[in-house]
Structure 1
Amino acid sequence: MVDAVVSKQPTLNKRAIVSDSVVPLARVDAVTEATLQRYRDFTSDTTCGAAQHPDWVDAWARTRSTEILFLSLELTGRTVLMMPLEVVRQKGCRVARAIGGNHANGNFSPILPGQAHLLSADVVAAMLKGLRRARPDIDLVLIERQTASIDGVANPFASVINVPSANIGLALDLSCGFEAVLDRIGRKRRLKKHRSQTRKLEAAGGFRRIEAKTPDEVERLVAEFLSQKADRFQRLGIRNVFADMQPFLTTLFNQAQNSPAPTFLLHGLEVGGIIRAVTGSSVVGDRLICEFGSIVEDELVHASPGDFLFFLNIEDAVRQGFKTYDFSVGDEGYKRAWCDIEMQQFDTIAPLTLKGRVYALALQGVIGAKRRIKANDRLWALLKRLRRGTASARSDASSSDGSSTDGSGDGD
């Protein structure tokens, strides 16, 4: 563990109520069994993003090869914030980013209850300076897809260098009950569609919604999800970002079962003995977040098994008392069919070195360009068609020479 005391007193703004004698202490700890337990103890009374939950952090630490560290802020002898980060190489820079990379959405650091008002822009900046002193080899701190607040607590990283994320998030208000949800999205049309789907699925051998609660069920649903996702990405010409995620996902959902109220939930729709759709969700406060989903694109795709599973998941979320069903980041038609809330997340890009400042400018340009492309429906649709065409040509070429396509492609 390395302590880095910031000697210069920060000038605190109106958001901070702290005496002039307080010196922020940035603490940087490597991942060990002891620090994992310390982090679990610290988060026991806090609200945090799904990727900052100790189950996620523990599973990532045990199944990934990246370096992990904990960046903590201490004030008046107490730890008031802890942020787990992984150190990776990007474009020649050493970057400390939120654990999980592109798989982590709605990032939010655990904060000691009642202490958020102390975390002014100056205090957060002092913490980052402490990281720079402790780890001069790190060029940039990058925390993408952050939510602005959780349970009324503002995200302190919103006060430092940030830009709007490339993708918006979509969610559904459940606070008035499932009947109100149906009224908002068109009750008659939605129920007619659901009855039609039910008949088709019953005719295909019957259906059941599965919630994974045993290691065998977790292994089955994770394997089906990864297979379905690999096929989908290959069809779209997108690099398969889940290709090496089996150990992490299996560990995460198995570990979640140790709690009487699991934070991470895995559901599947079985039709005629075959898993046709899978969703993985997280629980953050009174919010149920769909972190990922997949479907089998076979003879039953016309019955929309994914949409059918969402219907059952949302209905069950209302029954359990959740106030929001969050479809996470990404603007897709199947999400729009349900959602009535748009959310803009943000990315923190905090350079610590000259090399980091150059990379930060490039990142801001790339994120801005993606955001503009995705905001233009015609341009985004054209790009997706071109990508599918490229994937099809690659598949044809592989078939003609006897080799197999690996499903990789350019990411978005």
Structure 2
Amino acid sequence: MVDTGAVARNTRGSGSSVSGLKSADVSIAIVCPADTAALADYEIFCSTALHGQAQHPLWLHAWITATNADALIATIRHEGRTKLMVAMEVIKSGPFRVARFMGGAHANGNFVATDPSGQNFVTASVLTALREVVAQARPDIDLICLERQLPDLLGMPNPFAQLATVQSANIALATDMSGGMDAMLARMNGKRKRKKLRYTLNKFSEAGGHRWLEASSAADVETLLSSFFEMKALRFRQNGIPDPFSPMEVQSFFQTLFTQALQQKPAPFVLHGLEVGGRIVGVNGYSITQNSFVCEFCAIDDSEPSLSPGFYLDFVAMEKACEQGKAIYDFSVGDDDYKRTWCDVQTQPFDLLLPLTVKGRLAYAGRLARTRGISAVKSNTRFWTLLKTLRKKVSGYTS
């Protein structure tokens, strides 16, 4: 890793350099993770650091490969020891250039790679230093926007939590599995859920039988993801929502991510699917952490509502989470009725916004207002329900 004051390699422009900044006890350097050496350093640090799954080295490799991301890593050192490594990509957002977590809206439950030893040392002065060194290295960046960050991970507070700019627009919901499946069901109307499971299995039998699937080869990954993209696209069209999975580079990213994850034991990312009557009717994508199953995305074919493929996939995944000793089944960000039937853990993620330029202050104000506005709308159940209904009507979708 480049040390303070050194000049790093930059593969994205001739003559451009990356700068370092030093204070009495903090030094920061910026490198381009498209550089193999920088990514290798990040991976070494992550082998002992705590980090969110969207900050996993495999996630970074896959995203950069699929999108050719203009990517940076900010390194913060304290008392001669690397304390944080913040991986970001630079994107164009209207008239602004914004540095964000790699993956954009697909990156949830974010937690920068952090040395788990010692107390948090991130203060306002450290954020000032981070601002200055990014601005020095990349004067074209207007705003650092690190969204949907977890307030803590495995009992460790997020180093940026005390300096959060605003609460994220969406909460995250999860289920406490620490006492096992039976204990969870005892709290969550288990008698009704087991009855629904029996009913669902009977419906599967009537429809020609079922198979639960877990991708174990590149071909499996391609099959399940193809079905997922098709089902998800239909659902977004029905609800009048732009499809964030439609870009080919995003689809290539997930194909690479889940295929490469098969080479690691245990796999940090896995795909589950459900086949009924020879047809795939549900796909869930998970990240697997030290203590949790996190459902990063899901899609179902609901043309036959009585099949309940989503319920079945969640139920089986919870059983497997318990078998593996996981304490949490995490539905990730977003508040939906089906999640509420399971969840007894609610987390409020936060966003950190750091303007670097005059334009960046405009972008900061705009994003802050937007986040607060969305939060206000979603907190009004009646208005939010009406808005979703109107959005579906405006979409003009007909089956």
Q: Does 1:306 align with 2:322?
A: no
> Helix, strand or coil: the match of 2:19?
strand
Q: Which runs of 5+ in 2 are unaligned?
A: 1-7, 9-16
Residue 335 of structure 1: which of 318, 339, 349 is its match?
339
Q: 1:252 is matched with which residue: 243, 257, 262? A: 257
Select the residue among 281, 295, 304 that pairs with 1:290. 295
Query: 1:326 maps to what in 2?
Result: 330
Q: What is the 5 A alignment of 1:155-304?
A: 155-244=158-247, 245-298=250-303, 300-304=304-308
Residue 181 (structure 1) shift:
1.1
Q: Given that residues 167 and 351 in structure 2 are in contact (C-alpha distance below 8 angstroms), is that contact kept between their aligned partners in structure 1?
A: yes
Partner of 2:392: 388
Task: Summarize deviations over 1:92-121 as a string: whole Å, max 9, x none.
Answer: 111000101001101111112314523333
State the Cα deviation string for residues 110-155 of structure 1 (Å, max 9, x = none).
Answer: 1123145233332233122211111111110001100011112221
Worse overlay, 346-355 or 66-75: 66-75
**Are 1:356 and 2:371 counterparts?**
no
CA distance in structure 1 between the aligned counterparts of 2:129 and 2:65, rounded to whole angstroms: 31
Range 305-314 or range 29-38, more displaced: 29-38
Q: Distance in 2 between matches of 1:161 and 1:216?
A: 42
State the partner residue of 1:83: 86
- Kindly indicate whether the alpha-carbon contact (under 8 Å) linking 2:26 and 2:126 is maintained by their aligned counterparts in 1: no
CA distance in 2 between counterparts of 1:31 and 1:5 reads 18
Once residues 253 and 132 of structure 1 are traced to their aligned partners in structure 2, the CA distance between those partners, rounded to angstroms, is 35
SS at match of 1:6: strand
- AA at the equivalent of 1:267: H
Offset, 1:161:
4.7
Q: What is the DSSP-based 3-state SS (H/G/I as helix, E as strand, rest coil) of the residue aligned with 2:116?
A: coil
Q: Which runs of 4+ in 1 moved over 4 A?
A: none
Letter paired with 2:265: P
Of 84-93 and 69-78, more deviation after overlay is shown by 69-78
Name the TM-score, length of structure 1 as normaliser: 0.89
How far does the alpha carbon of each residue in 1:363-389 deviate from its partner, in whole angstroms, 9 at most, with x for none?
Answer: 111100000101111000000100110
Report 1:146-157 matches (<5 A): 146-157=149-160
2:61 is paired with a residue whose SS is helix
Question: Is the 2:222–2:255 Cα contact (8 Å) retained in structure 1?
Answer: yes
Are 2:124 and 1:121 aligned?
yes
Distance 2:164 2:172 in 1: 21
Q: Counterpart in 2 of 1:15?
A: none
Aligned length: 382
Task: For structure 1, list consecutive stretches of 5 or more residues without a partner in the other structure.
Answer: 10-20, 400-412
Question: Counterpart of 1:317?
Answer: 321
Deviation digits for residues 70-103 of structure 1 (CA, Å, limit 9, x no counterpart): 1111234432211110100112111000101001
* Cα-to-partner distance string for 1:27-75 (whole Å, 9 max, x where unaligned): 3334222222221111111121111001100000100133111111123
- Corresponding residue for residue 4 of structure 1: 19
- Asked whether the equivalents of residues 39 and 54 of structure 1 are also in contact (C-alpha less than 8 Å), the reply is yes
Please tell me whether the aligned partners of residues 178 and 315 of structure 1 are also in contact (alpha carbons under 8 angstroms).
yes
Equivalent position amino acid for 2:21 in 1? V
Quote the sequence identity (%): 41
